Structure 1
Amino acid sequence: MSIRTRQAVLQLKPYSPGKPIWEVQREHGLDRVVKLASNENPLGPSPLAMEALLRSAAELHRYPDAGFSELRSALADTLGVTPEHIIAGNGADELIKLVAEAYLETGDEMIVPSPSFTEYEFTGVLMGARVVPVPLRADFTYDIAAILGAVTPRTKLVYVCTPHNPTGTYLPRGELEKLLEELPPSVLLIVDAAYGHYADADDYTDGLDLLRQGRTLLVLQTFSKIYGLAGIRVGYAVSRPEVIEALLKVKEPFNVNALAQTAAAAALADTDHVSRSRELNADGRRYLTEELTARGFTVVRPSQSNFILVRLGAEAGRIYEGLLQRGVIVRSAAVWGLPEYVRITIGTPEENDRLLEALAELGRRAEVPAPRVAE
């Protein structure tokens, strides 16, 4: 074909999702599979969201509200801002892309943590910008001095993901405030707080309180995690009205479908589901951390998310495949350049125990040596 694609497109690396349950069942002939790979809510979707979704199904012949007014109003009430501070998206992924489309031009620079969610880099490359990765420290925490040191006159965007994916670590409030104080006013700080609902550290902030104080930043959150609505794709961004207005200009007219808008608005009111999800996660996170540490594995701490990053050592690839064969899906961290690690979503007590059982089975049957403990 003689039609040539853009050079930026040739550089793109498509997103690599975790294995779905049906694929593992088919590959290994299994009836029961436990999925602890994609950081989904093991309690399932909000019951209130399910009820609202079913009630609205009869209106599927109508286009969705292009301005997501009901959802925007519900979010504004919940977050303590005005509707003009909010935009909804087809998952947080779309909002990351909208930020790039609204602000990045060829030759601009954006700073991203390394390793981290690959969609940041994807959108920067798509727009022809230079993506500047700043490595985390050896303990997988942020190096604020290194981030500030990477800023140049061409820098437009800086991303921080807190709690961080895939490590579970977080950026303390004081360090986030330092970033905001020392970044040039021409740079937009984006705080991806997709997992912020699970954080319980005293000095954690998702940035919304700083935004309410009048600081300039953009906060990303999603309904895919604690609200259990990953399958219908809806996220939201909160920022100054002028930033939101720029994003609204580049979004598609009907980017959030009608069912997603209705279910998300209902899920916001389901405080019981959120509380149960947070409690289940905290208990499971503590349990798995203790049990895996007792078995000689290294767990990155402190995780503030609904997953943990675990070092399995040189045998990580073989253990990962062995777990798949036993119907337990975890996420290989090789995709983030961490081949000795896996990321494990916190599941129900039964799912967590099945993971531990499978590891024990694998250790006996495959004679996998105990992994080295990081110093």
Structure 2
Amino acid sequence: MPQTPQARRNVSEIPTYVPGKPPTPRPGLTTFKLSSNENPYPPLPGVLDAAMSAAAAMNRYPDMGNSALYAALSDTLDVPVDDTAAATGSVALIYQLFNAFCEPGDEVVYAWRSFEAYPIAATAAAAVSVRVPVLADGRHDLDSMAAAITDRTRVVIVCTPNNPTGPAVTQSELDAFVARVPSRVLVVVDEAYLEFVRMDDAIDGLATYRAHSNVVLTRTFSKAYGLAGFRVGYAVGPAPLAAALRAVSLPFGVSSVAQAAAIASLAASDALFERVDALVAERDRVVGAVREAGWEIPDAQGNFVWFDSGERTAAFAAAADELGIVVRPFAGEGARVSIGETEANNRLISLAQTFVL
């Protein structure tokens, strides 16, 4: 029997990413998708015009160097252009970091449960995932994560706020953790939801990267900025680390439309934070009502809340679907629910008041 081409052994071991599914259509009932942490607001002022203008030149390749976007990020964040890197969402940056810094068999340490793309990206890079369970309240167990670092560890990831459980790491906690990480190990601070954080001693990611030669921040325009459909994220790190990210990036990976939309979004900061403040207010309203209904909800610092529904998670998701809202279930563990439109949030509160664990 003739031989056929075989993918690398690790390819067959890559877990499947499970996206948030759309709601089931229900005649006479408006349905809402609360399964993907999407921003319910339309594009920020000026963004749609910028995107349409860029789309008119779709016959041309995008700027492979992302020069205008890097310049805008540099001005907005007060960082050198050489300390930035862009990709198709922050998830692509995670893939690139593992590919750039991990040899096959090297270890990647991260909390679990956390962002489900981490084990996918690690396996794709032929790296070994070291999952450190989160604490009972959904927070990172940073002491155990530091203790899990070995001679084979090349990358550790701190997801803050943690997706899907919700709590964020404090600056004091992060400082103490980074101090315990060997300087040869890359520390990735995944800040996909940083704009939603409202807490004492919140992380100053930029100050942290400036203070350490082994810290990289990953951020996205998908969440607070509402550009999930355009796929653009960015990293900030010391120039040698950012250069490694750019070296392994997909040529022309960030489309001209995405670049234009991201730049216009950075220029609409006042409108951005008005919307973020409104979402945070809705988040706090939902958390308060759900706790009043008897649920123990972890501290929610992203644009979502976590329901520790355990073995009843599938039933919880089904009950939500009956109400015209779709959530993101993690079988046997819990459900993550995005903060959406007011009506969608009201239905979630009703579900929390009536669902029996």
Deviations along 1:56-82, one digit per CA (max 9) or x if unpaired, are: 221111100000000100001111101
Check whether the contact 1:193–1:206 (CA below 8 A) recurs between aligned residues: no
Please tell me whether the aligned partners of residues 328 and 358 of structure 1 are also in contact (alpha carbons under 8 angstroms): no
CA distance in 1, matches of 2:278, 2:77: 24
Match of 2:124 among 117, 123, 126: 126
Question: What 5-or-longer segments of structure 1 have no aligned partner?
Answer: none
Picking from 317, 335, 342, the partner of 1:342 is: 335
Does residue 263 (structure 1) correspond to residue 264 (structure 2)? The answer is: no
Partner Cα separation in structure 2 for residue 137 and residue 31 of structure 1: 39
Does the Cα contact within 8 Å between 1:49 and 1:267 map onto a contact in 2?
yes
Alpha-carbon distance, 1:172 to partner = 0.9
Q: Secondary structure of 2:176's match?
A: helix
Shift of 1:198: 0.5
Identity %: 35
Say which of 84, 87, 108 aligns to 1:86.
Answer: 84
When normalised by structure 2's length, the TM-score is: 0.95
Q: Give distance in 2, aligned partners of 1:39 and 1:188.
A: 27
- Distance in 1 (CA, whole Å) between partners of 2:110 and 2:28 is 39
Letter of the 2:76 counterpart: T
Matches within 5 A, 1:1-375: 2-21=4-23, 24-25=24-25, 28=26, 32-300=30-298, 302-312=299-309, 314-334=311-331, 338=333, 341-357=334-350, 363=354, 370-371=356-357
Contact preservation (8 Å) 2:290, 2:352? no
The CA distance in 1 between the partners of 2:348 and 2:101, in whole Å, is 43
Contact 1:81 1:212 in 2 (8 A): no
> Structure 1 CA distance, aligned partners of 2:136 and 2:347?
31
Q: Secondary structure at the match of 2:15?
A: coil
The AA in structure 1 aligned to 2:16 is P
- TM-score, normalised to structure 1, is 0.90
Q: Distance in 2 between matches of 1:63 and 1:30?
A: 44
Whole-angstrom CA distance in 2 between matches of 1:208 and 1:178: 16
Which amino acid is 2:69 matched to? L
The 3-state SS of whatever aligns with 2:36 is coil
Q: Which residue identity lines up with residue 277 of structure 1 in the other structure?
A: R
What one-letter code is carried by the residue in structure 2 that aligns with 1:331?
Answer: R
| Equivalent position SS for 1:290 | helix
* Counterpart-to-counterpart distance in 2, 1:260 and 1:63: 12
Give the paired residue count. 355
RMSD: 1.7
CA displacement at 1:43 relative to structure 2: 1.4
Q: CA deviation at 1:322?
A: 2.2
Equivalent residue of 1:230, what SS?
Answer: coil
Please, which runs of 5 or more residues in structure 2 have no aligned partner? none
